[in-house]
Structure 1
Amino acid sequence: MKKVLSVENLQKSFKNTKVLKNISFDVHQGEIMAILGPNGAGKSTTIRNIMGIMYPDEGSVTFHNHEGKEIPRHKIGYLPEERGLYKNVKVMDVLLYFASLKEYPKEKAKQRALVFLEKLGLKGKEYASVEELSKGMGQKVQFIGSIIHEPELLILDEPFSGLDPVSQEIFRDEIKELAKNGTAILLSSHQMNLVESMCDRLFMINRGEKVIYGSMDDVKTEYANFKCTIRGKNETAALERIPEVTRVDQSDDISILYLTQDVEVTSWLKQLPNDIDVQELSVDRVSLHEIFVDIATDRNLAEEVGEAHA
């Protein structure tokens, strides 16, 4: 798979605080790569260094064979977390303006704009002013603005913000279609369910450092251990004594037992003590959301189960 973006040993400090510490990852043609982390982890700083909004103290950002200030920004699409559209300007004029900034032909941009306005449920809104749009509609317009020029690399920072569940699904499908057609996509989002359903690989960062880096399959294999959820009145201490249980979380009569990585589920279930109160029982894998929370709250799940590599 062709490498489109390479970030190598990125370091950045503000005053005496180092916010990026040797950050390295790649994004390939036709893949969706997630960059994840809690607020303040360094995601936006990483993206701003890629976009040339700021430059790293050390390390490099390479787009194809271009590095740093030589990167052709017109080949990159960017949807920032901070939204900004001219309120008293018509939708089509805004989109054509975005296209002109990327040196994209006006007539071709107009045709693409009409296609995407219809796909995203905004047909007939091309001559409405931005101030007439809802927050979700404005988000759709800004998304179209980020892809109007057919970028080779698309960077999306919280693209699902302000969208209802139906619109989130439409966005997810459109992003997947763009990747299918060859666009390299770097996506930052706190919507873990959507990330898990659409991304090929992920890079998780916390306190400016890499925590997880690998394909979604690798991450699930390395981190997504099994958990057993039991509904019944049970003492935490009794559940913690069960072999191959690493942690127990309880809320009212719901107990979640987190199991070791090498557990054989069928055999483990057979050895459950007879005195456990089981009204309901289910076994599934830890979700990406739970992995994220574990890391963000310093439960050190990543240190317990190892590290996935790309």
Structure 2
Amino acid sequence: MTWLVTGGAGYIGSHVVRALRGADLDVVVIDDLSTGRAEFVPDGVPLVRANLLDADAVRTTLDTYGVSGVIHIAGYKYAGESVRRPLHTYQQNVSAMVTLLDAMSDAGVDRIVFSSSAATYGTPDTAVVDETTATRPESPYGESKLIGEWLLRDIGVATGLRHTSLRYFNVVGSGPDGVFDVSPFNLFPKVFDMLVHGQTPRINGDDYPTPDGTCVRDYIHVEDVAAAHVAAAHRLESGLPIEPVYNLGSGSGTSVREIMTTMRAVTGVDFEPDIAPRRAGDPARIVAAGDLAARDLDWRMRHSLTDMVASAWSALPSRATDEAAP
């Protein structure tokens, strides 16, 4: 049984690859390395450098490695940037998924775990979302993820494809192999970069109706996310009943102020974040309930906030520790 991980050279994907190997499953990676890094792929795991829009490369990969299931993580993952680049977002997230699913159908591969997003919810009416919460995405990115879920639903009806989609918010932290988040748009790498370069991080608004006045969101460790993907793959493989969608969430959330305080303690860099005005459209609190995933995928928050920050900080290139002054 070989699982194909699309985007397996990326931050989340490479952690999923390690989790699959830890479960004694064979893995092959396809990644165009537009944001992934070849060195993030563990030794001994085949890496096919190709974009999913290359139908011939996808078909050849499925056939050559005898793939029996797919974990689909590849995509253009920047919600804010997707507003500026909608066509690129739909091409990479929707057209590429159509190509992948078509190739899977031709190869007789009938199992897929889709790495979706809580961006499908947009700004919900409730502070805690579950799988029954209405989906109202507010960016081309969120829309493209929801379309991906629709594609799976429709093909499942047409062909019997077994599938599930995992929705989650902010993935942080690192595993022991030093794979780190390379995104210039995510909170942890942005703050770390500012600390390394002697700049002061900022909080956008501290007057929200939350315990400390700052926004509350879900932050979940990348290894916990990877474990859920593997559990979903096992469930598909075993033929057990599986939900079409699972939220991976804490149910409680973490405030931006709590993150900054933990970063100060973990890094040893003494700073007090600047307070900037609120950003338009930022809800006070959005977190996801993970009850269904806990029931079926052994989902739980295995890492504390300190674990998340410490693992992410220690995984940065060595110059981060060298250049940051307490």
Same fold (TM over 0.5): no
Q: TM-score, normalised by structure 1?
A: 0.28
Structure with greater Cα Rg: 1
Q: Which has the higher strand share?
A: 1
Q: 1 or 2, which has the higher helix percentage?
A: 2
TM-score between the two structures when normalised by the length of structure 2: 0.27
